[in-house]
Amino acid sequence: MSSGLICAYQIPRDLAYLFISVCVINCGDCLLILILCFAGNGNNTTRTIIIVIASVVGVLILIIISIYIFMRRKKTPEKVETKDEIIGAESLRIDFDSVLAATNNFSDANKLGHGGFGAVYKGQLPNGQEVAVKRMYRKSQQGDIEFKNEVLLLAKLQHHNLIRFLGFCLEGHEKILISEFVPNRSLDHFIFDRTKRAQLDWKTRYKIIEGIARGLLYLHEDSKLRIIHRDLKPSNILLDADMIPKISGFGMARPLGRDETQGSTVRIVGTYGYMAPEYAMQGHFSVKSDVFSFGVLLLEIISGQKNNSFCHGENNEFMLNFAWKNWREGTALNLIDPTLSDFSRNEIMRCIHIALLCVQENVAGRPTMAAVIFMLNSFSTILPVPSQPAFCMQSDIETDMSSSLATNSWVSNNSNIELLPTSLNEVSITELSPR
């Protein structure tokens, strides 16, 4: 198939004529572009001018056609892919009336909890399947485009240790996500409750640790996009009937290209205590910032206590301080949850060591999740010595006569103290600008 373009320029002087013919021939995977120039009668000077003009015009036409062809070929696959993605997402759309019926009009009896973006309800689809329905707050700053992007992202993620996305609803002000329902709620309901955490023996906790690690590895290396979760914490780890962990809470997740290793933002989101210092203070995030969060989470699973209110005896201090100090003094067993009775000392000490590697202040020194999984399963491998973590000190600031707000300050060996607000109830902070 070919197409031609003919341009004729008349040069009145000496009755000279210039004809430029451009012929574009489609040869399958390549295009053949022919530029033919014809000059009429004229003297030598005129003929020279005509040849120069013809050459310049011909080159310009060639450049324009080349750019057009390049842009057309570049855009076509993207449009097809976007269209396919939209069609795929639309197939997951559920109308609002069906959501109302599934949740009994969002009754309080069906409410499972709430977070920084919205409330979560238990629902039942017409086919009898139980689901979790997350209804976004209307005051949420997430727009329709951002919501659709989250839907497209969730629809692509398929892993045993990630919560399974089932559908969405977008009608008027309503933005709703529907996912699989897990009966044992979230990890924080167990490990931070003195009675319930006794149900989690070390074998179960170790299985949970491994499952979280494998889910993160999938996000970082095995999914179509490199996903940075940015809000890994116990309340975003759901447990199914077999206590298998499912990572959830992808409202703050950010995709990176396969060749990208880090990103940056001026809008800090997440939960203090789990944020890596380079992200909380400078807005830099990478797979290593998720690794930091995993390290904090690992210490909480081992100790059964929250990182920002760790208590040993009558002393309260930040968990990273306590873990680092006791590891250096050879008394790391002080970190272990006293409700644990039957456990492998070598396994638990190795997990503490791995956690300290994950929370190092030096970003480059933190392991990847692939390395973490290898260290969890290879007891013959000698672990590197961790360097000091970024300490997070607690200070109380009175806000009125009856209450006070706890604030965190990241402290390193060579930096000044920076006061940053924290979330007392561990609800994710959805916007804060870095310094």
What pLDDT shows up at residue 435?
Answer: 43
DSSP reduced 3-state for 371: helix
> Could you give the C-alpha distances from 7 to 16, 34, 40, 66, 408, in angstroms and in order?
15, 13, 14, 18, 72
Backbone angles phi and psi of 33, in degrees to 5: -110, 120
Highest mean pLDDT among 26-35, 110-119, 142-151, 402-411: 110-119
pLDDT digits (tens, 9 = 90+) for 350-388: 999 999 999 999 999 999 999 999 999 998 889 999 999
- 59-115 per-position pLDDT tens digit: 788 788 878 776 665 543 333 345 555 556 678 899 999 999 999 999 999 999 887
Q: How many domains does the chain have?
A: 3
Assess contact for 32 and 45: CB atoms under 8 A: no
Q: Answer yes or no: do 417 and 325 share one domain.
A: yes
Residues 168 and 293 in one domain: no
- Tell me the C-alpha distance between 393 and 323, whole Å: 14
Domain end among 135, 161, 180: 180
When pLDDT is averaged across residues 426-431 and rounded to a whole number, the result is: 53
Provide the angle, in degrees to the nearest 10, between the axes of the packed helices 44-90 and 144-156: 70
Mean pLDDT of the chain: 79
Both 215 and 324 in one domain: the answer is: yes
pTM of the shown model:
0.72
Q: What is the pLDDT of residue 55?
A: 75
Which pLDDT score is estimated for 34? 55
Instruction: Give 401's pLDDT tier (boundaries 50, 70, 90).
Output: very low
Domain contains 274: yes
Instruction: Note whether residue 426 is domain-resident.
Output: no
Same domain flag for 29 and 56 = yes
Q: Which of 231, 290, 337, 396 is catalytic?
A: 231
For residues 320 and 385, state if they share a domain. yes
* Burial (0-12, 13-18, 19+ Cβ within 10 Å), 41: exposed
Half-sphere exposure of 76 (CA within 13 A, CB side): 6
On the question of pLDDT at 215 being above 90, the answer is yes
3-state secondary structure of 190: helix
Does 196 count as an annotated binding residue? Answer: no
Q: Are 276 and 329 in the same domain?
A: yes
pLDDT value of residue 24? 54
**What's the pLDDT tens digit per position in 271-325?**
889 999 999 999 999 999 999 999 999 999 999 999 887 776 666 778 898 999 9
Could you report the per-residue pLDDT of 329-348, keeping only the tens digit for each? 999 999 999 999 888 899 99
Same domain, 256 and 353: yes
- Clarify whether 337 is annotated catalytic: no
Q: For residue 215, give the CATH number of its domain.
A: 1.10.510.10
The domain spanning residue 110 has which CATH number?
Answer: 3.30.200.20
275 within some domain: yes
193 and 151 in a single domain? The answer is: no
Enclosing domain of residue 23: 2-81
**How many CB atoms are closer than 10 A to CB 316?**
12
Q: Is 377 exposed, middle or buried (0-12, 13-18, 19+ CB in 10 A)?
A: exposed
